[in-house]
Amino acid sequence: MGALVLFFLGISSQIYAFYLPIFFQSVQGVSTTQSGVQYIALVVPQIVNLVVTGGFVSTWGFYYPYIVSGVSIATVGAGLLTTVGPLTPTVKCAAFMVITGIGTGMAHQLPYTAVQAVLDYCGLFVSALGGALGLTIGQNLLISKLRMAVPAYTDAVSPDLVITAGASGLSDISPTPSVLDALRLAYSAAIHDTLILALAATALSVLPSLSIERLNIKTIANDRSGEAVVAEEKSPAEVRTIFIREILYSPGITLLKLSILWFYYQLFSVNTTLRRMIIATAVICVLWLVATTLDIALECMPIRAFWETFISPEYCLENLPVLLGNELSNFFIDVAILCIPARAVWQLQLSPAKKAPIMGIFLLGGLVCVFSILRLVVIWHSPYAYENGEFIPLIDVLFLKLMSLQISLAWLSSGQNYS
């Protein structure tokens, strides 16, 4: 049930991250920078409530009330967001986004907290799967609706030209102000369909959230405290799932890094030095992906000795140095990506009041570096061990939470960049 909650919230979260900035640019006519600033109304409550709720769960151990409350609040916010249009005041729209951010921040990460107690490890993949599915369906809805809505509002511009121009290019292709208003109404109708999809996905997360088992993770931890860490046995299927999760992490985070670098490459098209730095960083990202994937895939030979304990492996790498090496290099790549645009953005000929929000959007990715450091600490103290020549992989809930938080923050920062 927790996996379904992650799946449906993954759909709505990614729709908001990509299509709300498009709404601000196309329907309300704001700049790309302003659209990113307005989207912060959803991001900040989401992150703050995520941290606060995590503290409550760590203190009292109960996660079920927060999941149910979170998806309920998120559903209300999602419903309110479907009412926005060209004439919706900015303050009203921001209030709807705050409600949605509070709900998703409260509920989206807690199923990871419950993973050792009640969830199957396969649930770790479904949030990313839901996000990818949401973006795919949302894009199809947007384009198909634009093809129908543009001719309904105006015949001065073809639908293909509107789609090619994008959200920020409507004024360039509009011969008159009345045509521009018509195109904004067409975009509003198209994005409304994607917001309906987000509402449906969020509402569908309510029922599975009610079915999540009501346990106290502190009680479970106390019950297990007397057991030796290496005494916990896992089935080959569970360990195989852990192996797949570790394999999939590197490609997922690398694609997010490359998406941010691609945005930088387009943004700094006239700066040859920065472009060379971006290309070099992208090459390093790809090399890191290859190295980390091979490290994990070839950790034991034969590979299936990782999860089938009856096989005597020819060798098994000592995993702690490998994990620390991978994570350290990942941290330095994150720092490099964060620093690439800093000087160029700071040198923009803008007033401090306008420059500060832009820096804030770029520095949102700095939280990814913070969570990289926390992941390093968790890895250092993680219960990975060898016993009698056999590798015993043990999952740590905090490790999984930090992984999901890092990916989520990378998604958010890349979503801001595309806006």
Percentage, residues of the chain above pLDDT 70: 61
Domain made up of 1-226: CATH architecture: Up-down Bundle (1.20)
Provide the token pair at 169: 């290019």
Cis peptide before 302 (omega within 30 of 0): yes
Residues of the chain with CATH 1.20.1250.20: 1-226
Task: Give the CATH fold of the 231-419 domain.
Answer: Four Helix Bundle (Hemerythrin (Met), subunit A) (1.20.120)
Answer for the pair 413, 260: CB distance below 8 angstroms, yes or no. yes
Q: What is the pLDDT of residue 95?
A: 92
189 near 159, Cβ under 8 Å?
no
Q: What is the tens place of the pLDDT at every residue in 165-224?
A: 777 788 888 888 888 889 889 999 999 999 999 999 999 988 887 877 776 666 655 554
Residue 417 has pLDDT above 70, yes or no: no
User: 192-221 b/e with 16+ CB inside 10 Å = b?
Assistant: bbbbbbbbebbbbbbebbeebeeeebeeee
Calpha distance 4→239 (Å, rounded)? 22
pLDDT of residue 61: 73
Choice between 66 and 390, residue whose per-residue pLDDT is larger: 66
Q: pTM, whole model, 2 decimals?
A: 0.59
Quick check: 267 pLDDT over 80? no
